[in-house]
A and B are shown apart, each in its own frame.
Chain A
Amino acid sequence: MSEKLLVTVGPHHHAPDTVARIMWEVTLALVPAFLISLYVFGGRAFVVTLCGVLGAVAGEALVQAVFQKKPVTLADGSAVLTGVLMAFSVPAALPWWTAFLGGFAGIILGKQCFGGLGQNIFNPAHIARAILLASWPVYMTTWLKPGAAAGLIGPLPDGVTAATPLGLMKETLRNPDLLNSLAASGTTALQHTFHELQIGWGSLLTGTIGGSLGETGKLALLLGGLFLLIRRHITWHTPATMLGTVFLGSLLITRDPQMALFHLLSGGLFLGAFFMATDMVTTPMTKVGHLIFGFGCGAITLLIRFKGGYPEGVCYSILIMNAFVPLIDKFTVPRRFGEVRAPAQEVKA
């Protein structure tokens, strides 16, 4: 009995979750939405996602192997997840090389520049989307029509693009002449949008609408979100407050339950609420912080959708709230066990 024994500090037992397992499970939770995007947008969705992931993986490997000369940590799944999330928030019509650049830039500028995993302030997938939107605004606002045969790569054939519901809604509301004629015929802007795009409430849920690659299938995203909730990788706090704020806010602004529902089910809200605003690295660490963060994301989304120039505001709302995370963390420190709030602080010399 004199062989060498392993000596470590406790705890000697450990919960089964690892960082890699969390990252891969979040990626797994995106699979239903990915299948929907393949159904709605065809092979281009696959090409864009693949190129986005390859770009992210290339960025991660380049920095770690060449610049840092450190072990490459692709196996932890975080770069793959960033690539997938980036691809999910861009149009399926995006040229393949743009998607690659998006993933690449997201990892390098959005993550590795800050020091790598766990250090970045902003959601790298959304940084990538913001970079692409600023660099190639036309590509980034060319939306594939659901079910259109657009080939795998190369230029888009004619007649395969369409507006997003939120985009068309914004245009409609900005066009006084159109609004007058709609009012004369007793049609609401919502009915007009649905009619023009030949969609209904069902399409908003299933995802057969124009929009970013992975954001349209609300039911599939909800399924993934439920999986994350059950696996406890996310809690209800952020998604519930973000979705709730957008729904109730739209209701207050428009006084129209249908419009509130339309705003809840449109754009990237579900993707943002379940997968982006819950990113552990770039969001607050406490439950109270999550509530504040979710509310902020919802409120800024509303502000951009109703008052801003863009039809959709989920991406920027989350990026803006990312910047407030240190502040939120600072003000949501839990009261310590047995802490007596000192009546008079000691004066420090």
Chain B
Amino acid sequence: MLNTRTFSGGLHPPDLKMTGGAAIVPLPPPRKVIIPLSQHIGAPGKPVVAVGDTVEKGQPLSEPNGFVSAPVHATIAGKVVALGNFMHPLGVASTAVVIEGTGEPEPAPSPVATDGLSLPDDEIKKRILAAGLVGMGGATFPTHVKLSPPANKPIDTVILNGVECEPALTADHRLMLEEPDKIISGLKLVMKVLKAKKGYIGIENNKPDAIRLLDEKLRGEENLAVAPLEVKYPQGGEKQLIAAVLDREVPSGGLPMDVGVVVQNVATAAAIHDAVFHQIPLTERVVTLAGSCVKNPGNYRVRIGTPVSEFIAATGGLKPDVPLVKVISGGPMMGIALFDLNVPIIKGTSGILCWSAAEGALRVATTCIRCGRCIEACPMRLLPQRLKNLIDAQRWASAADLGILDCMECGSCAYICPANLPLVQSFKLGKKVVLAERKREADAQKAKGK
């Protein structure tokens, strides 16, 4: 077996990965999709359709608005019935296009295959942008931006993120088992565009079948390798993954490209292959459905824009005898608790967890006893306990000095805290205030300069 590596800090919550053996099941197109124009970090796209328009599957609904932006596409054929504010899984209303399907059977896809690797770099990037690709691990950073680093930041290594360190999620695991060739092809495309010399696929040890399969596939590929990793949360964080695989530390406030690395999720890599070889836009993704309330937990290929309630119903629905208490979009550590099941599955939705009272029980916060477990768990080696005290006391500048902006809200500290303190809430607030103050200061400086 290959050597395993890891990063410092972090912890190992129970895996809860019950669906690793469940093959991906494609779901039929839903009757209705709600497609938010903002499914990525950056500016929302500008709509290019109007109510009443008939759209084909894969037709763009918006065009990117600026460089850090991405288009969205119709994920079913049908008619645009609404264009307006709809609730987004993040808990805010945002502009979305609602399409009602025709209900007619979809024509079999006849994608034109080109050898993507022989295309010029610009054409590859253009196809990736046109397909609306964003990071599918959850961060949803537009992919073409990551593939366009400034000239003074040469990239030598590309790492594909197959870590899936969140408990309960198995979508990436299944994709690695079922579509390894697409993933490898995507990796090669990314490496070609970035002129990177080395490519790794980082996978944790709890997915030995995926490690074995990809390792076999990469045999004979001199510059590609699987990097097996110790099982530890949050190894799927970009900075932790780079530290684990390459032992390089992304500087505080910096980006992976500062240390010559670009990280892409394995699902994004597979989508890159489809986009470049077949010019298929991003209209569906694999979503893990789990939790004690669902009848048929598993991994499903879902159209983006499918309302969560319809998605659950299409898989067989909820168990009638287990009351639903909490629904999480994403994993148990960093996922977002949904307040409304009419919100859609979006490009970054990796899982839907339907929890009963047993799993979603609230715990009462008590008192910090300075046990230091949060410090040990913090993958950024911050002092969560001290930061929380500073934020509670509204000492924003001190919190900034202690690195509050380095916090990625992974929740390791809050997970381990025996007093069950709301650490992540504090840090979200602290980061917001510190960033706002920085912006205010910068604006003041600018005003002075004029």
Contacts and interface: CB of A to CB of B under 8 A. Distances in A.
Partners in one complex: yes
Interface of A: 1-3, 5-15, 17-22, 73, 76, 116-118, 280-281, 283-287, 333-340
Contact of B415 (A2, A11, A335): A11
B252 A336 contact: yes
B325 A13 contact: no
Which of B251, B337, B379 is the most central at the interface, judged by chain A CB atoms within 10 Å of its CB? Answer: B337
Contacts of B402: 333
B337 A1 contact: no
Interface in B170-223: none
A76 to B, nearest CB: 7
B58 to A, nearest CB: 30
A237 B9 CA distance: 17
B117 interface: no
Nearest to A8: B337
B251 A340 contact: yes
Given A337-B239, A338-B249, A340-B252, A11 B363 contact: no
B381 A337 contact: yes
Contacts of A340: 251-252
A10 B382 CA distance: 18
Nearest to A78: B369
Interface stretch (B32-40, B107-115, B420-428): B420-428
A337 B252 contact: yes
Contacts, number: 158
Contact of B424 (A10, A15, A286): A10
B376 to A, nearest CB: 8
Interface of B: 8-9, 11, 13-14, 16, 167, 239, 243, 249-254, 309, 312, 318, 323-328, 332-341, 353, 355, 360, 362-363, 366-372, 375-376, 379-383, 385, 402-403, 406, 409, 411-412, 414-416, 418-420, 422, 424-425, 428
Contacts of B309: 1
B385 A285 contact: yes
Nearest to A337: B380
Given A12-B355, A22-B371, A337-B239, 13 more contacts: A3-B323, A5-B339, A6-B362, A8-B337, A8-B362, A18-B420, A19-B367, A280-B372, A281-B369, A333-B383, A337-B8, A338-B249, A339-B252
Interface of B is mostly: loop
Given A5-B326, A13-B415, A285-B375, A118 B370 contact: yes
A15 B335 CA distance: 17
Contact of B420 (A6, A12, A14, A287): A14
Among all A-B residue pairs, the 10 with the closest Cβ atoms:
A11-B411, A285-B372, A13-B332, A338-B252, A280-B371, A337-B380, A7-B337, A6-B326, A17-B418, A11-B415
Contacts of A333: 383, 402
A20 B328 CA distance: 29
B381 A334 contact: yes
Nearest to A335: B381
Nearest to B353: A12
Contact of B379 (A280, A335, A337): A337
B289 to A, nearest CB: 14
B251 A10 contact: no
Contact of B325 (A1, A6, A337): A6
B378 to A, nearest CB: 8
Contact of B418 (A13, A22, A116, A284): A22
Contact of B367 (A7, A11, A14, A116): A116
A338 B250 contact: yes
A1 B341 contact: yes
B243 A337 contact: yes
Contacts of A9: 337, 422, 424-425, 428
Contacts of B424: 9-11
Nearest to A234: B371
Contacts of B367: 19, 116-118
A18 B369 CA distance: 10
Contacts of A5: 324-327, 337-341
Contact of A19 (B325, B332, B406, B419): B419
Contacts of B243: 337
Contact of B239 (A3, A116, A335, A338): A338
A334 B375 contact: yes
A15 B13 CA distance: 7
A335 B403 CA distance: 11
A12 B372 contact: no
Which of A14, A284, A339 is the most central at the interface, judged by chain B CB atoms within 10 Å of its CB? Answer: A14
A272 B370 CA distance: 19
B14 to A, nearest CB: 8
Contacts of B252: 336-340
Given A118-B368, A334-B375, A335-B381, A14 B363 contact: yes
A11 B336 CA distance: 9
Contacts of A1: 309, 312, 318, 324, 341
B250 A12 contact: no
Contact of A10 (B312, B335, B381, B383): B335
